[in-house]
Amino acid sequence: MEPLRSYLAGRWQRPDAAGTPLHDAATGQEVARISTSGLDPAAALAYGRESVGPALRELTFHQRAALLKTLASHLREHRHELYSLSARTGATKGDSKFDIDGGIGVLFSYSSKGRREMPDDTVYVDGATEPLSKQGTFLGQHIATPLRGVAVQINAFNFPVWGPLEKLAPAFVAGMPTLIKPAPQTAYLTHRLVELIVESGILPEGSVQLLCGDPGDLLDHLTEQDTLSFTGSAATARRLRAHDNVVRRGVRFNAEADSLNCSILGPDATPDSPEFELFVRELVTEMTVKAGQKCTAVRRAFVPAELADEVTEAVRRRLADIKVGDPSSGEVDMGALADPEQREEVRRSLKALLESCRLVHGDPNTPFELVDADYEQGAFVPPMLLRCDDPELPQPHEVEAFGPVSTIMPYRDAEHAVELARRGHGSLVGSVVSADPDFVRTVVTGAASQHGRMLVLNRHDSAESTGHGSPLPQLAHGGPGRAGGGEEMAGLRGVLHHMQRTAVQADPDTLTSLTRQWMPGSARETTAVHPFRKHLERLRVGDSVVGGPRTVTREDVRRFAEFTGDEFYAHTDEEAAAANPFFGGLVAHGYLVVSFAAGLFVAPESGPVLANYGLENLRFLTPTYPGDEITVTLTAKRITPRHNADYGEVRWDADVTNQDGESVAKYDVLTLVAKENPSE
C-alpha cells in the first residue's frame, strides 16, 4: 500500500518512503500509510506566504466568508462519504456526525459572522475612535490587518474533520492560508477532507495545504508572521510552546489540551427531579460519545454526598445498556478507541486512578460482550465508572484516562464543590446541573477562573442546550493552565487572532481614507441630491444632510407625553423638574428629540432607502428645554454592500445639536439601501 500523499506548494506529493501503517480501529486491518520522507515543509511555508497570501489578502472579508459558505455546502453534499471513512476510526454514526457535521457547521457559522459582523473591506476597524486632542484634529484608531504568514495547525486524532475546519475557518476569513498537520491515527480521514476541498476548486489555490506524517523540521521555519495552533496532550503543548524558534520568533501559539473537566450536580436535585436525570444522562453521553476520546468529556463528576449512592447506581444502570462494537453496526452505542496504543494508554491511566478509586462498572482487562467485533482485533474497552469517596486524594484531579472513564466524587457544600472543581488546574469546560440560582452563582463565579467555558444545565434550558461537551464557534474553546491557556473559535476573536492589531494616530480625514469609515471631524459632503435619494453605488462615505432648525415647544412636550404615556415628572411636573439638580426645569423627552431629528433628515419620497432597521449607540448628552432649537446632521459613516442581494447596509452618524452648537444627542442610524444594479 502506497503512503498518503501530502498537498504542498500547490500539488499532491508522494513521500519517498513506504511509511507507517494505519489501521482500522475496529478490525485492525491496514487502512493507509503515512510518511513525510522527502517532503519540504520549508518550501510549503514559503509558498503559502509568497504565492497564496497575497491573493487571499486581495479578497475582502465578505468575499472570503462567502467562499466558506460555498465550501460548507460542497462538503455537506459529500458528508456520507466522510461518514463511511470515519467508521474506520472507531466512530459510530453519531460520533461521525458530531465530528463531520460539527466541522461543516463551523464553516457556515464563520461565513455568517464574516458577512454580518465584518466590513466588505480588507481592513477591520477594531473598537471606537479615541480622541487625542482638544480640537479633534488628532485621533487614534485601532485597526486589524492579516498576518502575512501561514496558519499552521497540528491536530489531535479524535476529531479529524472538525479539528481542521474549526481552525481553518477563522484563519481563512482573516486572510491567512492554512497548513494542516493531522494526527497519524486518523490522518486518512483528514486526507480525504482536504482532497474534497482541493478538488472542489472553491478556495483560492493553495489556501489549504496538507502534511501527512511527522512534521520534521516544520517548526524551525516558522516566522513571527505565522501562527501555530495545537490540539492534543498538555505534555506535547508544553514542548511546542517551548520550541526554540517558536519562542525566539514570538510565533503566535494557541493550545487546546486535554483537561480534567468536571460536572457538578446541585444540592437542589433529588432522585426524581429533572436535574438528577439530566446529570446522569449527560455523564453517560460524555463517557460514550467518541468512546470518551473528547478533550471536553466529563472526567470528574461531583455530587452531593447524600446522593452519591443514588447517582452511582443510576449511571451504572445506564452504562449496562450501552452496546460496544463495530461502529458500522446500527445497534452499537459506542465504538473503539483510536488504536491499540490508545487502549494501552487508557489502561495505564486507569491503573493510576485505582490507587484512590474503585471500579463500579466496566473492566478493560476482562473480555466483554461486543457487537459484530473481535476483542483481539479492535481497540475496544467498555465504559468504566469509578467511585472515589475521598475527593481530597490527588489521583482523580491529576490523572486523565482519555477514554470512556469518569469518576464520581462527593462534595459537602457549594464552597467544597468549587474547591474540588479548581483542583483540575485548568479545564476546557465545567458544567453545573442545578435550578438553584444561588448555588449556580457561587460555583460559576468561584470556578470560572480555572475554566474556559461553563455550562449551566437545568429543566429550563435542557430542551435547547447543546450539552457539556459541545464547543460552539460563537464562543471561546480553550482553558487556562493544564488546558493549554489558549482560545479557539470565539467568534470574531478567532479571526482577530490571525490579524495584527495596530494603533493608528492621524487626522480625521486620513483615518477616514484608511478605514473607509467616516471619522468624527472628517470632511462632510453636502450635495444638491439628498443622500436618501442615492442608490447604494452612488453613496459615498461622508455624504451628509443637515436638517433644521426646529423649535421644541412646551406644547410639543405635553402632546408627546399624552400620546406616548411617558409622563415622567421631568417632562410634566414643572416644580418637581426644577428640583432635579440635573435638569433644573422642565425638559423634552429624549425620544421626542430623536423623533423630531428623524423628521428633519428624512426624504419622504419613495426611493432607494428601503428601511430603517436599527438605531445604536444612542446617548443623550445635553438636556433639551422648551424653546430650544435643534438641528441634526446625518452623515454616511459606513457603506456595506451585501453580496447576492439587491441592497446593502448604510450606517449613518447622527448628531443633534442645539442653538448653542452643543450636542444634545448622538447615535447611529442603520438603513437598508437599494442597489442601482441589483445583479452586482
Residue 679 binned pLDDT confidence (cut-offs 50, 70, 90): low
Q: For residue 598, count CB atoms less than 10 angstroms from its CB and return exposed for 0-12, middle for 13-18, buried for 19 or more.
A: middle
CATH topology of domain 524-674: Thiol Ester Dehydrase; Chain A (3.10.129)
* Residue 563 CB neighbours (<10 A): 9
CATH 3.40.309.10-classified regions of the chain = 262-467
* Residue 297 CB neighbours (<10 A): 32
Judged against a pLDDT cut of 90, whether residue 365 lies above it is answered with: no
Q: What average pLDDT score do residues 612-636 get?
A: 97
Which of 207, 111, 101, 210 lies closest to 162 in space, CA to CA? 101
Looking at residue 407, its amino acid is T
Q: What is the DSSP string of 136-193?
A: S--EEEEEEEE-SS-EEEE--SS-TTHHHHHHHHHHHHHT--EEEE--GGGHHHHHHH
Q: What average pLDDT score do residues 333-343 get?
A: 96
Q: What is the DSSP string of 53-90?
A: HHHHHHS-HHHHHHHHHHHHHHHHHTHHHHHHHHGGGT
Contact call for residues 513 and 458 (beta carbons, < 8 A): no
CATH 3.40.605.10-classified regions of the chain = 42-219+493-500
DSSP label at residue 241: H
Contact call for residues 406 and 357 (beta carbons, < 8 A): no
Question: Would you say how long the chain is, in residues?
Answer: 680
Judged against a pLDDT cut of 80, whether residue 615 lies above it is answered with: yes
For position 648, what pLDDT does the model report? Answer: 94
Q: What average pLDDT score do residues 492-500 get?
A: 97
DSSP tally for the chain: helices H, then strands E? 20, 27
What's the whole-model pTM score? 0.95
For position 680, what pLDDT does the model report? Answer: 58
Q: What average pLDDT score do residues 278-304 get?
A: 98
- Percent of the chain predicted with pLDDT > 90: 96
Q: Is 341 a catalytic site residue? A: no
Per-residue pLDDT tens over the stretch 632-661: 999 999 999 988 889 999 999 999 999 999
Whole-angstrom distance, CA of residue 380 vs CA of residue 327: 11
Whole-angstrom distance, CA of residue 326 vs CA of residue 311: 29
Catalytic site residue from 166, 212, 256, 388: 256
Looking at residue 299, its amino acid is R
Judged against a pLDDT cut of 90, whether residue 1 lies above it is answered with: no
Q: What is the DSSP string of 263-328?
A: EEE-TT--TTSHHHHHHHHHHHHHHHGGGG--TTSEEEEEEEGGGHHHHHHHHHHHHHT--BB-TT
Q: Residue 252: enclosing H or E segment and its boundaries?
A: strand 252-257
Judged against a pLDDT cut of 80, whether residue 56 lies above it is answered with: yes
Residue 13 binned pLDDT confidence (cut-offs 50, 70, 90): very high
For position 434, what pLDDT does the model report? Answer: 98
Catalytic site residue from 166, 262, 282, 295: 295
Domain 262-467: CATH superfamily, name plus number: Aldehyde Dehydrogenase; Chain A, domain 2 (3.40.309.10)
Q: Which CATH class is domain 42-219+493-500?
A: alpha beta
Average pLDDT, the chain: 96
| Residue 381 grid coordinates | 474497552
Q: Is 256 a catalytic site residue? A: yes
3-class SS of residue 219: helix
Longest CA–CA separation in the chain, Å: 93
Judged against a pLDDT cut of 90, whether residue 577 lies above it is answered with: yes
Judged against a pLDDT cut of 90, whether residue 678 lies above it is answered with: no
Residue 387 binned pLDDT confidence (cut-offs 50, 70, 90): very high
| Residue 268 grid coordinates | 437542589
As a three-state string, the secondary structure of 623-656 is: CCCCCCEEEEEEEEEEEEECCCCCEEEEEEEEEE
